[in-house]
């Protein structure tokens, strides 16, 4: 079998490519501007190396905050154009506000406009090429799924929305099929006897094995998998791909060998990491409480007009190792909102006041929790602290739910920035998958990533 796999880019490769080419195009644009004799704002030479590096740092940081490197958004030109304009506007503003490191303002202010337009146009040209070339079908990763029919639908629906370049072409049933067997119509099924022919004919780049019982794999499929492996063909297990593309742990597919899927991050026991995390918590808590004091008069007025009741409220939440504590927040709901008992918060919840909606969307209602962070009940980053009532209910329904309590809850976290506010058991399952991913891969880099995404959530007003 001559394996003619198509050319494709992995997720990490595309993210690196986007960042490097953005910078390359901006520096090329500045170099071309220097060919115009009237442009003197920033010269492309060794004397301005610090200014040029600073520009690259600003583009990288603000490009991340404003989601220029989100692959789903990067595949759409209208969304990309909006994010480029917002990013460039912020970059130029900060660049002008750091005159010690960046060039001094030119006498002719029109040169700032040239500088601004050069950045927008250069990145936009590259992104147009990226969408029409790299994001085109010729660079798709064509995947063949091998697994039990009963589990195919859940995997396909999750993976198809994760990466625009990851295309599941079809599947092969790894179990013995009979006329009475359940059929899945949402994806093309190939005959197990033509496994190797399908690999060549469909130009498959990768085989994804989603069999949850290896003993049930029929002999023909098992033999072909072994043959492909011996030839160096790329075969991966579904949990590896699931975590890589969706950044969450697929607990709904985990069986009795659950211990294989939870090799938790060494950072959970790393004394140096824990020390720096606590130091970061204390610094953020002090800054957060100072900000709270500064804006408290305005919030007090808004509360008088829009909430008409107590400004703060406390509520019991479950902390690390299941230990309860009292959380403090700005009140966003009407007084006695839960007279009939605890209820799920939901979109357009009638219990939320008009001013409370603003506090939630802007995340200002969370600011008093910095007091809990300072006390040590919470961390800045971690799973969202839930109420005992919901924890008890969800722990009975969702496997491994209590596992999220092995670390401190957080003001923000991987689940909070990756998905919407949980308003059902299904939402809670998704959030748990993200929480377990964070616990499993916890690191300074992931914490920094969460911090940047939290800024995006606040700036795009996505709180609920």
The pLDDT score that the predictor gives to residue 155 is 79
Domains of the chain by start residue, with CATH: 11-134 (no CATH), 140-246 (3.40.50.10700), 266-459 (no CATH)
* Ranges of the chain with pLDDT below 50: 1-3
The pLDDT score that the predictor gives to residue 147 is 84
In three state form, how does the secondary structure of 276-327 look?
Answer: HHHHHHHHHHHHHHHHHHHHHHHHHHHHHHHCCCCCEEEEEEECHHHCEEEE
Task: Report the distance separating Cα 456 and Cα 464, nearest Å.
Answer: 14
What does the mean pLDDT of the chain come to? Answer: 86
Tell me if the pTM is above 0.85: no
The pLDDT score that the predictor gives to residue 464 is 54
Q: Which two tokens stand for residue 125?
A: 């040209």
The pLDDT score that the predictor gives to residue 423 is 67
Task: Report the distance separating Cα 208 and Cα 237, nearest Å.
Answer: 6
Q: Which two tokens stand for residue 233?
A: 């063909």
Tens digits of residue pLDDT in 121-164:
999 999 999 999 888 777 888 999 998 877 777 778 778 777 77
The pLDDT score that the predictor gives to residue 251 is 80
- Secondary structure of residue 210 in the 3-state scheme: strand
The pLDDT score that the predictor gives to residue 2 is 47
């Amino acid at each position: 079998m001559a394996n003619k796999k198509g050319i494709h880019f992995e997720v990490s490769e595309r993210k690196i490519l986007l960042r490097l080419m953005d910078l390359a195009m901006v520096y090329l644009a500045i170099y071309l501007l220097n060919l115009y004799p009237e442009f003197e704002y920033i010269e492309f030479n060794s004397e301005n190396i610090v200014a040029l590096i600073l520009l690259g740092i600003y583009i990288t940081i603000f490009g991340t905050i404003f989601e220029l490197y989100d692959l789903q958004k990067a595949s759409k030109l209208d969304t990309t154009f909006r994010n480029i304009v917002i990013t460039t506007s912020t970059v130029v503003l900060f660049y002008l506000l750091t005159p010690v490191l960046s060039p001094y303002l030119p006498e002719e202010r029109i040169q700032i406009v040239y500088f601004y337009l050069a950045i927008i146009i250069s990145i936009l040209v590259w992104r147009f090429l990226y969408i029409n070339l790299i994001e085109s079908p010729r660079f798709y990763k064509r995947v063949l799924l091998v697994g039990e029919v009963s589990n195919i639908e859940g995997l396909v629906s999750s993976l198809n929305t994760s990466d625009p370049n990851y295309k599941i072409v079809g599947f092969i049933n790894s179990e013995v099929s009979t006329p009475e067997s359940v059929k899945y119509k949402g994806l093309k099924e190939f005959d197990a006897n033509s496994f190797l022919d399908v690999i060549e004919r469909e130009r498959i780049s990768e085989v994804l094995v989603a069999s949850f019982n290896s003993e049930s794999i029929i002999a023909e499929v098992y033999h072909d998998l072994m043959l492909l492996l011996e030839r160096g063909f790329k075969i991966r297990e579904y949990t590896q791909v699931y975590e890589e593309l969706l950044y969450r742990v697929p607990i709904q597919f985990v069986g009795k060998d659950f211990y294989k899927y939870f090799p938790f991050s060494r950072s959970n026991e790393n004394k140096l990491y824990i020390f720096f995390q606590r130091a970061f918590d204390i610094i953020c808590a002090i800054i957060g409480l100072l900000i709270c004091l500064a804006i408290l008069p305005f919030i007090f007025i808004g509360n008088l007009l829009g909430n008409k009741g107590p400004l703060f409220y406390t509520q019991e939440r479950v902390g690390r190792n299941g230990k309860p504590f009292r959380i403090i927040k700005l009140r966003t709901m009407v007084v006695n909102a839960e007279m009939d008992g605890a209820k799920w918060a939901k979109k357009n919840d009638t219990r939320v006041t008009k001013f409370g909606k603003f506090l939630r969307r802007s995340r200002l209602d969370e600011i008093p929790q910095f007091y809990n962070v300072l006390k040590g009940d919470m961390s800045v980053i971690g799973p969202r602290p839930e109420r005992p009532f919901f924890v008890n209910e969800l722990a009975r329904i969702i496997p491994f739910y209590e596992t999220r309590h092995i670390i401190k809850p957080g003001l923000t976290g991987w689940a909070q920035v990756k998905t919407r506010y949980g308003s059902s058991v299904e939402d809670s399952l998704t959030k748990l998958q993200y929480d377990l991913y964070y616990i499993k891969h916890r690191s300074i880099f992931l914490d920094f990533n969460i911090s940047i995404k939290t800024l995006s959530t606040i700036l795009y007003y996505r709180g609920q």
